[in-house]
Structure 1
Amino acid sequence: MARRKEIGRDKILNVAYKMVMRDGVECLTARNVAKEGHFSTQPLYLEFSSMNELRDEVLDKIAENLKGNVLQKEYTGKPLIDMDLSYIDYAKEHENLFRAMFVDGKLGSKRISNALIDFGIQKFNEQYKDTNYSKEKIMNIVVANWITTIGIASLIINEIATFSETQIINVLTAQINDAILNDWLSKNKEIPLFDVRDYKK
């Protein structure tokens, strides 16, 4: 009878996921994952073709958790605003991960960014059901919204500023309204935080 595989793909992925959630993306090395999971690096390279493949699967799992659970909290009854507030709380709770992706510019920010844009478009359409905006305009509004949301989270995490929830809601609401009226991102093909040219609908 063949020997049962003790260290499988799911176990390695779960170990790596917990590490990234706790310590951020840059902790993800073969040696660190093996040490954390109490196994050698051999099963890791048997199950994954490279550390990049493992990293991508971890980031996909983070994105799935964000969309399926984390960003579904309700604060105001306005889906887009509630998504923003949920993300700011998530960033405060997982500071190392947030810093690695959106402050220090480490691995994975692009992969997560695309997932956040996609989810933001969904939430925008839930909050603004009766609009006939083009897909490009909606995407520009959502990108501007994420820039503001991540900016607020960065200010809070770096202890540069402190905001009440009401202040955050007011800023986000004003920003969304401004983006709807002015669509300022459409005037600039280069967007520094989210490269929408690679965004797939």
Structure 2
Amino acid sequence: MARRKTITREQILNAAFQVVATEGFAHFTARNIASKMNCSTQPIYLEFKNMEDLKLALFKKIGDYLENEVFSIPQIGDPLIDMALNYIELAQNQKVLYRAIYMENHNEKDYLNKFSYELFEKNLEASGRFNQLTNQKKHELFTGIWIVATGLASLMSGGILTPERKEIVLLIEKAIDNILKDNNEMLETLLFEKEE
């Protein structure tokens, strides 16, 4: 008679999530994950082909967590700015998880970029403000917001900067405005400033 499985795929993913959220990907090993579940490593390899297979499944779980528990929290009512504010709060409130996902070296950068851009497009559509943007402008807007939010997230999580929320919102809004300005208008602004 075959032994009944006592450790499920979901339990393994939850334990892997806990390891990464509290210790980072440097500690993402079968032994550490098994230790969280008080079992041997055997159930991990019964459910997953290898650790890379587990990591890919974990990133899907992390993506679901980010989309449903982190980036979906209403802040000021503008989906794009809310997304940036939630990203910054993740860096402050869940430092190890933030660093593991966005700063540590792992093989899931392509998945993370695709996930982030798709979430950005969803929020862009929900905002309703930028329906006429070209794909190039959307990409520029994504990159610009990402850079500003990451700079703020890093500086704030390290305690180097402590801006108030309204200052953060203003910085993000200014970044959006500058990115969306017509190139000719930006050139005129630069020339005008030089003449003064």
Q: Which TM-score bucket, shorter chain as reference? A: 0.7 to 0.9
Aligned length: 182
Which residue identity is paired with 1:106? Answer: N
**Counterpart residue number, 1:198:** none
User: Could you tell me whether the CA contact under 8 Å between 1:117 and 1:143 is conserved in 2?
Assistant: no
Any idea what the Cα deviations from partners look like across 1:67-94, whole Å, max 9, x if unmatched? 1231111121111001111111122121
- How far apart, CA to CA, are the structure 1 residues paired with 2:130 and 2:147? 24
- How far apart, CA to CA, are the structure 1 residues paired with 2:140 and 2:121? 10
Any idea what the Cα deviations from partners look like across 1:125-183, whole Å, max 9, x if unmatched? 22234631112321221122112111110111122211110110010000011111258
User: Could you tell me whether the CA contact under 8 Å between 2:15 and 2:36 is conserved in 1?
Assistant: yes
- How far apart, CA to CA, are the structure 2 residues paired with 1:44 and 1:78? 42
Equivalences for 1:125-164 in 2 at 5 Å? 125-129=125-129, 131-164=131-164
**Counterpart residue number, 1:172:** 172
**Counterpart residue number, 2:39:** 39
User: Could you tell me whether the CA contact under 8 Å between 1:121 and 1:139 is conserved in 2?
Assistant: no
**Counterpart residue number, 1:54:** 54
**Counterpart residue number, 2:121:** 121
Equivalences for 1:69-148 in 2 at 5 Å? 69-103=69-103, 105-107=104-106, 108-129=108-129, 131-148=131-148
| Greater Rg over alpha carbons, structure | 2
CA distance change for structure 1 residues 18 and 29 in 2, over 3 Å: closer, same or farther? same
- RMSD of equivalent CA atoms: 1.8
Structure 2 gap segments, 5+ residues each: 184-196
* TM-score after normalising by structure 1: 0.83
Any idea what the Cα deviations from partners look like across 1:81-121, whole Å, max 9, x if unmatched? 01111111122121012123333x32244432321111111
- Give the SS at the match of 2:3: coil
User: Could you tell me whether the CA contact under 8 Å between 1:26 and 1:106 is conserved in 2?
Assistant: no
* TM-score after normalising by structure 2: 0.85
Structure 1 gap segments, 5+ residues each: 184-201
- How far apart, CA to CA, are the structure 1 residues paired with 2:151 and 2:179? 16
Alignment of 1:13 with 2:13, yes or no, is: yes
- How far apart, CA to CA, are the structure 1 residues paired with 2:117 and 2:21? 21
User: Could you tell me whether the CA contact under 8 Å between 2:124 and 2:130 is conserved in 1?
Assistant: no
Q: Point out the more displaced range, 19-28 or 164-173.
A: 19-28
- Give the SS at the match of 1:83: helix
